[in-house]
Structure 1
Amino acid sequence: MNGGELSVTTPGEREIVLTRSFDAPRHLVFRALTTPELLKRWLGARGWNLVGCEIDLRVGGRWRFVHRGPDGSEMAHGGVYQEVIEPSRLIYTEMFDNQSYEGESLITQLLVEERGMTTLTSSVLYASQEARDTVLQYPMARGVSQSYERLDTVLADLRNRQGDTT
């Protein structure tokens, strides 16, 4: 069941904010954002798969993801967790191995639950407006939307198999 459409806004010169609702309690959404086995089931645009996923979910802990595309090419990125408040907030840095823009990004993910629906707001703060504008030229919104559609399926499976008390 689809919780909603992806909203992409640019509230500041260096920021992109992505917002999407999911038909699941926030503890399940948080789990899907932070559990390697679950991330491998949904993270990536159509045709892309998460083939490497390391998470040390604690302040100062590192994370690293490796995605493989339909042509076999790989894209890797990682960072360090700055704040972990389960199940409501994650803050972490991000940098891609072959990044096309300068600087590290800071991502803040907020999860707000209302009547069993969770709204995930991801704010990405770039090092410069030029970096942000470079990212806006990519098909990021399409890729995130496709990824979140896959997440809808994973969340429905979690709710069906384990209930809302997981």
Structure 2
Amino acid sequence: MSVTSRNEATIVVDPELPAIRIEREFEASPAAVFRAHVEPELVRRWLGPRGVTLELTRWEARTGGAYRYLHRDENGEYAFYGSFHEIRPGERIVQTFTFEGYPDGVCLETLTFEDLGGGRTRLRTTSTFDTKELRDLILSSGMEVGVVEGYEQLDELLAEQGDDAR
């Protein structure tokens, strides 16, 4: 399924801070966008770039929970893991994010879900790294493709759910 979206991800990198900020709007309620971030059967359908297979090996989306997942493609397997520090339904997720291939590179991510009215949501994500060098390594890894394509797939999922997503 392909859905045309007027919404584009904005990725901002402050040259002075070891952080990446991503902002994206969705044609669905905060509750629906939030649910797509925490329910494993929904996460499996959109997280990551097109052309990868996602396997959730652990997914405990609750305050104090943890996660681990694998992306597989023709080039290999890539594992990621972290902890959910705060889950506030429909409002906020605070979690860590680590690529298993670089375990010293722990990132702290804060996601907020803003109700824009009319069944629309603005998702803001701030990813904070230990160093600007680590931030730049993540940027050069193809992160932007994963964000853009993942959010396109999330648009498709939300559109498929229709009124249930609002």
1:13 to 6, 17, 23: 17
The reply on whether 1:129 has 2:124 as its aligned counterpart is no
**Which has the higher mean CA deviation after the structures are superposed, 122-131 or 5-14?**
5-14
Cα shift readout 1:75-123 (whole Å, capped 9, x = no counterpart): 1111111111101100011111112x83310000001011211111111
Residue in 2 aligned with 1:27? 31
Tell me how large the CA RMSD over aligned residues is: 1.7
Contact 2:25 2:122 in 1 (8 A): yes
Residue in 2 aligned with 1:77? 80
Count how many residue pairs are aligned between Structure 1 and Structure 2.
Answer: 161
Contact 1:102 1:131 in 2 (8 A): no
Gap regions ≥5 residues in structure 1: none
Contact 1:55 1:64 in 2 (8 A): yes
**Identity level (%):** 32
Classify 1:60/1:112 alpha carbon distance in 2 versus 1 (closer, same or farther; 3 Å): same
CA distance in 1, matches of 2:46, 2:139: 22
1:49 to 28, 53, 75: 53
Residue in 2 aligned with 1:88? 91
TM-score of the superposition, structure 1-length normalised?
A: 0.90
TM-score of the superposition, structure 2-length normalised?
A: 0.90
Contact 1:3 1:20 in 2 (8 A): no
Classify 1:3/1:33 alpha carbon distance in 2 versus 1 (closer, same or farther; 3 Å): farther
